[in-house]
Amino acid sequence: MYEKIQETAAWLKARINTRPDTAIILGTGLGRLADEIEIAQSISYSEIPNFPQSTVEGHSGKLLLGKLGGKDILAMQGRFHYYEGYSMKEVTFPVRVMYELGIKTLFVSNAGGGTNASFNVGDIMIITDHINLFPEHPLRGKNFPTGPRFPDMSEAYNKQLIALADEIAQEKGIKVQHGVYLGTQGPTFETPSEYRMFARMGADSVGMSTVPEVIVANHCGIKCFGISIITDLGVEGRIVEVSHEEVQRAANEVQPKMAEIMREMIRRS
């Protein structure tokens, strides 16, 4: 696997014209943030050697290079999920490639179900920590030389970046929540009993991504910042039937605010 990562990174280095140190992973329904990017290059995942392919609606499957907030960035317009049948090493393969390309900071976004009774659909939740309930750990197996065998996760989401996001949100008058994101394998949405259990475990939002990518990024020494857009509620008495299309619609409505925060964070960092 490590040889494939290096092969993919070398292929990209030979073809991209910039050397960004910031990357963004755009989650379900959040791919339109790409409209904010001054795109210089767009590479389909299908063109990239060893790269997995997006199979989920709302994930375009393109690697974008350009400028956001006046800085060179790399963006994944579509990510990979464990429920698609990929192994965790395949899900996190792009993050390993990012490290080889010189990425120092990773911004991740997702659509999540809110388990906090004070949350509403459309809230932006800054992720302060996560709970990993995936059945396979992304660092399982032989350790990669990019980090220690037992990496520290006491600050999986960078506190300085969280503080910067709070400062920008206050300046722009954008309401943000803080909370813990719980990652589970999916692809079913949660039952009411599962929502209750997750809330009691300390989760404020639950979804099917992000956690593996953040674990691997931390293993590589990449700083992480995460946002979860609350697209549905798993709060007792407020649970309604939900579909992937409704999640996408809810995420689309909030995208401009999330984009404003991320754009300004990248400009200032």
Domain ranges of the chain: 2-250+263-268
Q: Look-up: residue for tokens 């995208």?
A: 255
Distance CA 66, CA 190 (A): 37
Tokens of 157: 């989401």
Mean pLDDT of 26-37: 72
Torsion of CA 115, 120, 126, 132, to 10 degrees: 20
- Give 2-250+263-268's CATH code, choosing from 2.40.50.140, 3.40.50.880, 2.40.50.100, 3.40.50.1580: 3.40.50.1580
Enumerate long-range contacts of 240-243, CB under 8 Å, 24 or more apart. Answer: 242/113, 242/189
Exposed/middle/buried for residue 229 (C-beta within 10 Å: 0-12, 13-18, 19+): buried
Residue 60 near residue 45 (C-beta atoms within 8 A) = no
Q: How confident is the model at residue 27 (pLDDT cuts 50, 70, 90)?
A: confident
Tokens of 243: 């579909």
CA distances from 118 to 114, 121, 210, 236, 245 (A): 9, 10, 23, 12, 24
Question: Tens digits of per-residue pLDDT, 163-185?
Answer: 999 999 999 999 999 999 999 99
* Range name among 44-58, 139-153, 196-210, 246-260 with the lowest pLDDT average: 246-260
Distance CA 1, CA 6 (A): 9
